[in-house]
Structures are given as C-alpha cells and as structure tokens.
Amino acid sequence: MVLFFLAPSAVPLVLFTLVPMVGSLWVSLHEWNLIGTMRWVGLANYAALLSDGDAWRALLNTVLYIAGYLPLVYIGGLGLAVALNRVTRGRDLFRSVYFLPVITSWVVVALMWKWLLNPSEGIVNRLLALMGIEGPGWWTSEEWALPSVILASAWKDLGFVMVILLAGLQAVPRDVLEAARVDGAGAWRRFRDITFPLLTPSTFFVVVISLINGFQVFDQVYVMTGGGPAGASEVVVERVYDLTFRYGRVGDASALSWVLFLVVLIVTVVQVRLQRRWVSYD
C-alpha cells in the first residue's frame, strides 16, 4: 500500500534528482569535456575555483544583481501594497495589472526590455532624448548591462512581492490601528510599531525566496546579454552553462554549481536562524 502511494513520486525523484545529484558530485571530481574519457582530479576543480577570476566575477555579479534587485522589489512592492490597502475602489483592477508581468515568461520579459532599452531605437532612450538627456548604452555597455537586467527583473517581480505583502497587510487588525490612532500615534509610528512587525512573516518569505531565486538568476541574463559584454553581466548559472556547453569544462562547471548550492544553503540557513530576532508570528 505504501509503495503504491509513494512509488509514482519516489521513483522519478530518485532517477531525476538524487541520481543526478550524486552524478554531479562525481563529475565535479573529474576533468571531463562531455565526450572524451573522465580523468580523476580529486578536489582540484574546487581548488582551481578559488583562483578563477571569472568564477569570482560571476559570484560578484550575482551578489550585485541581488543587491540591486531586492531593495527595488521590496520597497516598491511595499509602497504599492500600502497604497492599495488604503483604497477600495479599483483595488482589484490595479492588482491584476501589476500582476501581469508575473505570469509572463522570463524570455518574453527579457526580449521586451531588450527592445525598450535598445540604445539607439528603444523607447526609453528616445524619451530621454526628448528631455535632452543622452541615454546610456544599456545592455550593450559594460557599466549598464547588469542594471538593465536588474531593471527588467524588478519590473517583472514587483507585482508578486506586492501581492504577498498586501495579503500580509490585510491581516493587520483594523481596530488595533484605530485604537493607536485614538491614542495619538501618528501614521509613521503606527506603521513602524504595528503594521511592520505584523508584516515581518511576509517580509521574511519575500527575502528568502528572492535570495534563493536571485542566486540562481539565468533566463533573463541569457536572453538579454548572454553574460556580456566581456563578462560584465555574467552571473554564476550563466557561467555554469557556458563552462559546460561552450567550453566543455564539465568538471569545473559541476564544482561551481555545487559551490553555488552551498552558498544558497548557508544564506538560507542563516536567514532561518536570524528570523527569531526580527520575525514575529503572533
């Protein structure tokens, strides 16, 4: 009976998750180009990562991506949620519109923004030119490639964060806020002392999910910049993909993907540990 209920999920999970997981560890201890024979190198791939400038740059770019993306979606999403929570008419309409990019695939979002941010013919630079500003080269320039990706990503996920935070806000009891107002607490104090503490579980959820997804960012980078120009926007997963399918360095790629996994794991565990200090569930 147990087998009947568990086998349909257990067999695929073993075959397509556990086996490749072990396989990935095994490959990361070898030098291999996908076609030829594997050569055992022990931990050399991991050791080589430490002095691999490209890998470090990819990690730095990934961290920079998160550092740009997370404040944008969180502060933007919070602002929208607070505003939407104060109005009644048209709330559902606004919410649906803001959520539209969330259901759109990353590839489509990346292509749309690649055209919007086209340096010479994109609407953004054309509008900037009307205001007398010369727009940057966006995804074609080394300084602006990563910000372009951040902009498109924040635009896509803003609605998601807003919906999560709005749900949290709607759980804030109105009578408590009203009582505080009667006692003479101003809008900022009510937000800081009542609303925000009650929002900490939703905030925690948004931060954990954003960090996990942020470290694994790939689709939009692949489509918008391919990691370029000259590696300026190459993130870790893009590097793993290039190492495997472009340079045939499968061992190095596997080692890098394990390092990424460990980083995500550590960051998530630290978050969960720290949550007791600032997240209140009552």
Partner 1 sequence: MTNRLIYAGLTVVGLVMLGPFIWTFLASTTEGGVVSWPLDPSLAAYGRLLDTMPFWRILINSVMVAVVSTALQVVTSAMAAYAFARLRFQGRDAVFVVYLATLMIPMQVLVVPLFIEMKTFDLVDTYAGLIAPTIASAFGVFFLRQAARQVPRELDEAAVMDGAGHIKIFAFVVLPLMRPALATFAIFAFMASWNAFLWPLVILRSPEFMTLPLGLANLHGQFTTEWDVVMAGSVVSVLPILVVYVLAQRHVIASVARTGLK
Footprint of partner 1 on 36-75 (CB under 8 A): none
Minimum distance from CB of 64 to partner 1 (Å)? 19
User: Could you give the CA distance from residue 249 to residue 27 in angstroms, rounded to a whole number?
Assistant: 10
Using alpha carbons, select from 153, 145, 147 the residue that is nearest to residue 74: 153
What residues from 120 to 149 belong to the interface with partner 1 (CB under 8 A)?
Answer: 121, 123
Identified binder of partner 1 from the candidate list 119, 137, 197, 201, rule CB under 8 A: 201
Residue pair 155/109 in contact (Cβ under 8 Å)? The answer is: yes
Residue 34 as a binder of partner 1 (CB under 8 A): the answer is yes
Strand, coil or helix: 30:
strand
Minimum distance from CB of 200 to partner 1 (Å)? 12
Identified binder of partner 1 from the candidate list 41, 149, 150, 240, rule CB under 8 A: 240
Identified binder of partner 1 from the candidate list 39, 47, 60, 105, rule CB under 8 A: 105
Q: Binders of partner 1: how many residues, by CB under 8 A?
A: 87
User: Could you give the CA distance from residue 166 to residue 98 in angstroms, rounded to a whole number?
Assistant: 12
User: Could you give the CA distance from residue 149 to residue 31 in angstroms, rounded to a whole number?
Assistant: 33
Using alpha carbons, select from 177, 275, 233 the residue that is nearest to residue 58: 233
Minimum distance from CB of 232 to partner 1 (Å)? 19
Residue 100 as a binder of partner 1 (CB under 8 A): the answer is yes
Identified binder of partner 1 from the candidate list 141, 218, 248, 275, rule CB under 8 A: 218
Identified binder of partner 1 from the candidate list 103, 130, 182, 230, rule CB under 8 A: 103
Task: Mark the segment that binds partner 1 (CB under 8 A) among 20-28, 40-48, 131-139, 141-149.
Answer: 20-28
DSSP for 171-226 reads: TS-HHHHHHHHHTT--HHHHIIIIIHHHHHHHHHHHHHHHHHHHHT--HHHHHHTT
